[in-house]
Structure 1
Amino acid sequence: MKSGQMANKILLTYIVADILFVAMGAVEIGFAVIVNNVRDEVPSTGEEAARNLLYQRFPLSAGLVNAIFVFATFALSIPAIIIPTRGWLKVSGVMVSFCSLFTMIVGVYLWVLTLKTKADMSEQWNVQTSDVQDLLQTNFACCGYFNSTSPAFVTDDTCPSPAAAALMRGCAAPLTSFANIFIDDIFTALFGMVGIDVVLILATACLLKDRKEQERFRHIDEKAGFRSF
């Protein structure tokens, strides 16, 4: 009786981890679709402009592919739950491991972006319209990118003249700080998803071991029944 209860707990743990796994896949695909739709919109505030610049550097295609793998893996896990054998479960476990590695790679990619944010955003700043630069200067209270002359600031209420602009900081520091905090939150969430993947991998291993034990006892019972016959 205790063995049966333990088996049920292991299966229940696996099912809960599997549901969390596919929920994270839904979050990932939802995020990728939403970001893909808004990243090229005309911003109305400096924060929106900065956010869109960051979104344009995100590996959204990789995120969509990873989410598709997550859903495919979840689909494979359904027969693994229903059929009390180990074949489907092993395939599902391999797929979960692949998804975990994929998610970690995307997270590491975003982390690497934070190491070169200042240089990357400098290139993006140079190709923005004066309206976008105006929004950024106003929101982050700065003039120009590195300073008011490199590149030259856009004349607006924050930077009304060269003399006033020279007294203001460049936008590189506040933009970089904003970008790093924003990206940190994203890749931390991705590493959290990897944590859920690891829980599912451990639950898969436990369920595989339990089913192997059940198969062994079943074979023993079959042999015993044959001999008694």
Structure 2
Amino acid sequence: MVSKLMLVFVATDVVFAMCGGLLVGFSLIAETNMRATPTTDNAAQRLLLNQCPLTAGVVNAALVFITFVFSVPAFFLPSNRGWLRMHGWLVVFCATFTLGLGLAVWVETLTTRKNLGAMWAEEVPLVQSLLQQKFNCCGYFNSTSPQFIQDNVCTDKLVAAQKGGCIGKFSSFANGYLDLIFTAAFGIVGVDVVLILCVAMVLKFRQEQERYRHIDEKNGLGAL
């Protein structure tokens, strides 16, 4: 009969694998969005996703799936601890990897205004105009720094001056968007930590079972 501890371990391991699916799904969808034609709805996201370690996210997901595969023998070999130890160390590596990705995105939020200004300056007028339309603003710092792009939102200099620059609205949007990404990464690390604790408890349980088995063998009860 499967113990409750093993059921918790397997359930947590499945959630761990699902987190790998979340990582690869987000990375691939983000890559697709970045290659899509820029529109008012996706222009800001495309700029922000370009700063995220998406390729590293796919690699991380692949490591998660490999780690999950190592847990299968650990489950079907109830007296074996070697596969379980290997699985545990791989989970530690995955957790460290994911934590690094989350911290990389978090660091981006510390210099949002500076980075967005450079990104804005590098974009073509079409994308700048789309951002102006999305955030209902003109120019980045203000309508003249840099010069606003004339469109249906910023129709002339007077209207552009009244609307103000995009720095505030764009920065708030970027911080909120990136916050979701690195918070999700830290949440996955939390799942990893729970799985590591489960692995440690299963290892301890199997170690005790092996010790009791040796005691029974010494007492001549090995055949019972």
TM interval, shorter chain, is: over 0.9
- Distance apart, 1:117 and its partner CA: 1.3
Q: Within 5 A, what are the aligned runs for 1:137-156?
A: 137-156=132-151
1:75 pairs with 69, 88, 93, which one?
A: 69
Write the deviation string for residues 151-191 of structure 1: whole angstroms up to 9, x where unpaired: 10001121111122111221111111000001101111111
Q: Within 5 A, what are the aligned runs for 1:8-157?
A: 8-45=3-40, 47-84=41-78, 85-157=80-152
Which segment drifts farther, 169-178 or 119-128? 119-128
SS at match of 1:167: helix
Question: Where in structure 2 are there 5+ consecutive unaligned residues?
Answer: none
Q: Cα RMSD (Å) of the superposition?
A: 1.5
1:194 pairs with 185, 189, 194, which one?
A: 189
Write the deviation string for residues 48-89 of structure 1: whole angstroms up to 9, x where unpaired: 100010011110111111111101100101001111211110
What amino acid maps onto 1:176 in structure 2?
S
Write the deviation string for residues 88-138 of structure 1: whole angstroms up to 9, x where unpaired: 100100000110111111001111101111111111111222221111111
Q: Following the alignment from structure 1 to structure 2, what is the Cα–Cα distance between the partners of residues 51 and 38? A: 8
Q: Following the alignment from structure 1 to structure 2, what is the Cα–Cα distance between the partners of residues 227 and 94? A: 33
| Alpha carbons 2:216, 2:222 under 8 Å: kept | no
Aligned residue number for residue 216 of structure 1: 211
Question: Where in structure 1 are there 5+ consecutive unaligned residues?
Answer: none
What amino acid maps onto 1:57 in structure 2?
Q
- Distance apart, 1:44 and its partner CA: 2.0
What amino acid maps onto 1:159 in structure 2?
C
Identity of paired residues, percent? 46
Name the CA shift for 1:167/1:216 in 2 (closer, same or farther; >3 Å).
same
